[in-house]
Structure 1
Amino acid sequence: MRKLISYSLILSSLIVLVSAKPSHENILTKPNIIYIMADDLGYGDIGCYGQKTLKTPNLDKMAAEGIRFTDFYSGNTVCAPSRYALMTGLHMGHAYIRGNGEFPIRENEQVLPKIMQENGYTTAMFGKWGLGQSHNTGSPEKQGWDEFLGYATQGHAHRFYTNNLWAIQNGKCVSYPMDSLQHSHPFITEKAFDFIKKGHEKPFFLYWAITMPHAEMYAPPATLKKYLNSDGSSIFEEKKPFVQMAKGGRSYRSQDKPNANMAAMIDHMDADIGRLIALLKELGLDKNTYVFFTSDNGPHNEGGRDMEFFDSNGSLKGFKRDLYEGGIRVPMIAWGANIPKGKITHEPLANWDVLPTFTNLIRAKTPQNIDGISFANILAGKKIKQKHDYLYWEFHERGFDQAVRKGKWKLVKQKGNTELFDLSTDLAETTNLAVKYPKIVAEMEKIMQTSRADSELFPVKK
């Protein structure tokens, strides 16, 4: 009888263990994923990355409850190629899109939303797409998005007040009427939150491409009031009121309070992150959802923004359109699911690593012939399995600029100059060591030559 009872207890225990395992496995194999990308947010614009004037309590808390990446890089120093690198896992030496412009993703490319779709995910994107329009191969519904609402092009996204956005309706991307007196960011945000609130039979992948704090410098009015005096003037010193006649969709309208608007945009964005985290907890999704926050490139210095006023690039040199650290090193925070709390990683990574990381997280096949590596192990509190030998960028707007990071070394060929920096002792890239270490320069120049192929869209300008 005792043996029978013992066998029964053992059998009961095994049943409990077996029945418990699928639940745990579901959390690890089919997590929801939310990827948030701000637009032109600098490395120094967030409190946990050193910002002193502006307060970002929700992003700081997200970092304290997750992992903060100190050495994370954008795909490029401007919008479109950086987003292309995110979608394809390719760095700028192999990317089809290597600069800004209305260039669509090609029809048969392996892109992140398609991969998520093929592995049983509902995919949704809200904000700035910038990689194709309704009439070409890059249209969102043709690139794996089930739902989309936002801006199709970079130029259109310069306008927070617009009479239309674009949306997927009945399987096609069509013009979506907007009240031109309504700021687009809060509207798009609510649509993204509505998507999360849906009862999803399948796991979901949400790409929230926030259009702030990109120029033009107009924050949502309700938040802007916090940064105005009773007479309507800015609480900050406004050294450079920006005055320009608006011409077409690509220019920025005049703005007399750019500093107040910059502060309000970052404030509003941070509050939305807090609302997102609260919503996930309310819906019980926080334990089964990964949330990532980053920026598409370094801070801009356009539309009246006084980048130095808020020290937007922190201790880094340069800003948007530079291949110095300030143009390409960006904040990156990971939160949720089984991510350990309060961790910091100094592993050099880039946004072309996101695609293979996500395929690892959902246990899907990773495409071959990409440049990215997975950092899924870091998200589990473990050592990364594979490290980058180097990171590579090139930029074509001002001729042909290149940069390589290999370990502590960074080589920049920009505006006709060759500069070598030791990032371990000179993060601000102040001391050019090229003459002192010619062998290192030669090694890095060889990487620049061998890590790229000629581009059809962006031929090298001699």
Structure 2
Amino acid sequence: MWWCAMVRSTGVWLAALLLIGSTALVRAEELPPNIVFILCDDLGYGDVGCFGQKKTRTPHIDTLARDGMRLIQHYSGAPVCAPSRCVLLTGLHSGHSQVRDNREAQPEGQYPLAEGTVTLPGLLEGYVCGAFGKWGLGGPESSGKPLAQGFDRFFGYNCQRQAHNYYPQHLWSNDEKVLLKNPPFAAHQKFPADADPQNPAAFERYRGPDYAADLISEQALKFIDEHHQKPFFLYYASPVPHLALQVPEDSLKEYAGEFSETPYLGERGYLPHPTPRAAYAAMITRMDREIGRILERLEKYGLQRRTIVVFSSDNGPLYDKLGGTDADFFQSALDLRGRKGSVYEGGIRVPTIVKFPGVVPAGTTSSTLGGFEDWMPTLLSLAGMSTKIPEQADGRDLSPSLRGDWQAPREFLYREFPGYGGQQFVRSGKWKAVRQNLVRPVPTGKKKLAEWKEPLAIELYDLEADPTESTNVAAEHPKVVAKLHAIMLREHQPSVEFKMPRLDDEQAAAHKAAGK
């Protein structure tokens, strides 16, 4: 009868739908995990609530920590922007990496990664890879531009210098310059002498209709919308809270009247602001809001359980009062020594969180020693691509620690930085060795040259007993100093572009003495 035929037909149709749904579910489960890497800019170790911040509100980042794992002994790739990002994307520490300091390239961009560089997105086979935010590893016409370094999509600031202004005249969409509606104004200027700093309207000249951080966030969300059915790597390199102090009025109002304020008039670089403390807090809270939107978008598509989310910062907070900031007021580095540009803890230890439901235990903390070079092998391992980890990578796979399992301590973590006078550090267990003033011009005259070749003093700190690096104990532990000094010599690879002649000369002398 007709109704029997219809029942049979309907049954076949429902069975087909169930089969299709089951197949789709199996396929979804078989897909490798998505990766969302959130990188903040100059965010200090103590700038978010889950790492001790009391004045600035970061509810979504704090929820990320509640649902994931805090890494409390994690180090950025360098104490400034470009070299830190280079370490992150190449898996090479700063003694081996290409970009070791910030260096401008004209007319727009920074010193570029070379053609053929092995990068994390380039190794993620089967992934669509998007970078959104601040790049800083090669200008729009260079070998270092994002689309030449493994990314399929880019939107944001190509150049770090342009990112000093949150109301720029243009951003980049892939290789296309996108003009914005903002009026032209310099990102570094002082408040006019004839203007009234008590009049908020006098500061309106430092803003426009298009807030770059919002535009970048919208494009990151669109990337998820367009690629939620396939594995993706979303590198969300927020420019916040790097200077200048600029934030839309609706976010600034959230902190109106909360802090005592003195208008910043541009005396120490960047742009003036009538309420600099409120501006700094509001910038971070607005960024937190955008991170929340990304997490919500993952939930919309049911991706939260098969997405690895990493949150971190490229280096420590700014030093005293630069651009109107007040790191001491906010305790941005807690009680750690040093700020951005320094290899002491405050300049290079960064707040880091990992969330991966079912793999990373929620609400946990890990004291495993790690750094930015570790993310290439770790993420490849979690994506089921361990065989793709390059042999020359300096990082190690942290996935056992992220799962909550025991992991053997690493031998050492190494950093060198030719900026801010030239610096080195080695961390091994509780010990940290530091050397300063490594970049000096080669002197003339035999006597001065002999003095220049004398070993530089090495500071030694016991971070278990002295986390603030207040007491140099090198004299009491000569064997430890000698061991860490040997690592300093071994891990430094001379760079033609980022010279450290003092180190190069010392290393050559050591090789000669060893008969190498």
Give the TM-score of the pair, scaled to structure 2.
0.79
Q: In structure 2, what is the equivalent of residue 383 of structure 1?
A: 406
1:108: which partner in 2? 116
Per-residue deviation at 1:297? 0.4
| 1:212-256 C-alpha deviation (Å, 9 max, x unpaired) | 000111123220111224xxxxx32235724259xxxxx622223
Structure 1 match to 2:348: 328
Partner of 1:215: 243
Alignment of 1:159-238 (within 5 A): 159-168=165-174, 173-180=175-182, 181=208, 182-229=210-257, 235-238=258-261
User: Alpha-carbon deviations, 1:115-155, whole Å to 9, x = none?
Assistant: 12xx1100101100110112110111111111110011111
Q: CA deviation at 1:81?
A: 0.3
| 1:157 maps to 2:157 | no
Q: Which one has a bigger Cα radius of gyration?
A: 2
Structure 2 residue 271 is the aligned partner of structure 1 residue 253: yes
- Distance in 2 between residues matched to 1:166 and 1:374, nearest whole Å: 34
- Structure 2 residue identity aligned to 1:133: G
Is the contact between residue 368 and residue 401 of structure 2 (CA under 8 Å) also seen in structure 1? no
Inter-CA distance 344–27: structure 2 relative to 1 (3 Å threshold): farther
Partner of 2:395: 372
Deviation at 1:380, TM superposition (A): 2.8
Q: CA deviation at 1:20?
A: 8.9
Query: Counterpart of 2:384 in 1: which secondary structure?
Result: coil
Retained in 1: the 8 A contact 2:228–2:301? no
State the Cα distance separating 1:201 from its structure 2 match.
Answer: 4.2
CA distance in 2, matches of 1:148, 1:275: 19
- In structure 1, the residue matched to 2:363 is 342
Matches of 2:26 and 2:324, distance apart in 1: 51
From 306, 309, 314, give the equivalent of 1:288: 306
Partner in structure 2 of residue 67 of structure 1: 69
CA distance in structure 2 between the partners assigned to 1:287 and 1:89 by the alignment: 26
- Letter of the aligned partner of 1:194 in structure 2? K
1:400 CA drift (Å)? 2.1
Q: Which residue of 2 aligns with 1:97?
A: 99
Name the amino acid aligned to 1:80: A
Q: Confirm or deny that 1:441 pairs with 2:469.
A: no
Within 5 A, what are the aligned runs for 1:391-430? Answer: 391-415=413-437, 418-430=458-470
- Deviating more after overlay: 23-32 vs 38-47: 23-32
Provide the rounded CA distance (Å) in 1 between the counterparts of 2:27 and 2:334.
41
Query: 1:8: which partner in 2?
Result: none
Asked whether the 8 Å contact 2:318–2:325 carries over to 1, the reply is: yes
Q: Distance in 1 between matches of 2:22 and 2:485?
A: 54
CA separation in 2, counterparts of 1:40 and 1:362?
Answer: 29
| Paired residue secondary structure (1:435) | helix
Q: 1:29–1:374: structure 2 CA closer, same or farther, 3 Å change rule?
A: farther
Between the two proteins, the alignment pairs up a number of residues equal to 427
Give the equivalent residue in structure 2 for 1:125.
Answer: 131
Kept in 2: contact 1:40–1:212 (CA 8 A) = yes
Residue identity opposite 2:488 in structure 1 = M
- Residue 328 of structure 2 aligns to a residue whose secondary structure is coil
Matched residue type, 2:97: A
- Matches of 2:242 and 2:29, distance apart in 1: 35
Distance 1:379 1:163, change over 3 A: same
**Residue 35 of structure 1: CA displacement?**
0.2
Letter in 2 for 1:191: Q
**Residue 139 (1) aligns with residue 145 (2):** yes
Note closer, same or farther for the CA distance 1:361–1:425 as it changes in structure 2 (3 Å cut): same
Q: From the superposition, tell whether residues 71 and 55 of structure 1 become closer, same or farther in structure 2 (CA, over 3 Å).
A: same
Q: Supply the AA of the counterpart residue of 2:462.
A: D
Provide structure 1 residue ranges, at least 5 long, that are not aligned to the other structure. Answer: 1-18, 230-234, 246-250
Partner of 1:359: 380
Looking at structure 2, the residues matched to 29 and 79 of structure 1 have their Cα atoms a distance apart, in angstroms, of 33
Q: TM-score, normalised to structure 1's length?
A: 0.88
Of 290, 295, 301, the match for 1:272: 290
**Helix, strand or coil at the partner of 2:292:** helix
C-alpha RMSD of matched pairs (Å): 2.0
Question: Contact (CA 8 Å) 2:414, 2:425: kept in 1 or not?
Answer: yes
Residue 7 (structure 2) aligns with:
none
Secondary structure, counterpart of 1:308 in structure 2 = helix
Aligned counterparts of 1:148 and 1:140: Cα–Cα separation in 2: 7
CA contact (8 A) 2:434 2:458 kept: yes
Q: Give, in whole Å, the separation in 2 of the partners of 1:417 and 1:228.
A: 48
CA distance in 1, matches of 2:88, 2:217: 21
- Does structure 2 conserve the Cα–Cα contact (< 8 Å) formed by 1:193 and 1:276? yes
Tell me: CA distance 1:199–1:298, structure 2 relative to 1, closer, same or farther (3 Å). closer
Confirm or deny: 8 A CA contact 2:31 2:231 kept in the other structure.
Answer: no
Unmatched runs of 5 consecutive residues or more in structure 2: 1-20, 104-109, 183-207, 438-455, 503-516
- The whole-number CA distance in structure 2 between the counterparts of 1:454 and 1:307 is 35
In structure 1, how many angstroms separate the alpha carbons of the residues matched to 2:254 and 2:130?
32
Q: Tell me by how many angstroms 1:337 deviates.
A: 3.7
Q: Which residue, out of 40, 45, 53, partners 2:47?
A: 45
The alignment partner of 1:327 has SS state of: helix
Q: How far 1:22 moved relative to its partner?
A: 10
CA–CA distance in structure 1, aligned partners of residues 262 and 491 of structure 2: 44
- What corresponds to 2:17 in structure 1? none
Mapped partners of 1:261, 1:241: distance in 2: 11
Residue equivalent to 2:444? none
Deviation sequence 1:260-293 (CA, Å, 0-9, x none): 1110011111122222222211221101111110
Residue aligning to 1:13: none
Following TM superposition, by how much is the alpha carbon of 1:315 offset from its aligned partner in structure 2, in angstroms? 2.3
Find the residue that maps to 1:309 and give its secondary structure. helix
Structure 1 residue identity aligned to 2:37:
Y
| Match of residue 309 from structure 1 | 329
Q: Do 2:113 and 2:137's aligned partners in 1 also have CA atoms closer than 8 Å?
A: yes
- Partners of 2:23 and 2:474 in 1: CA distance: 56
Shift of 1:298: 0.4
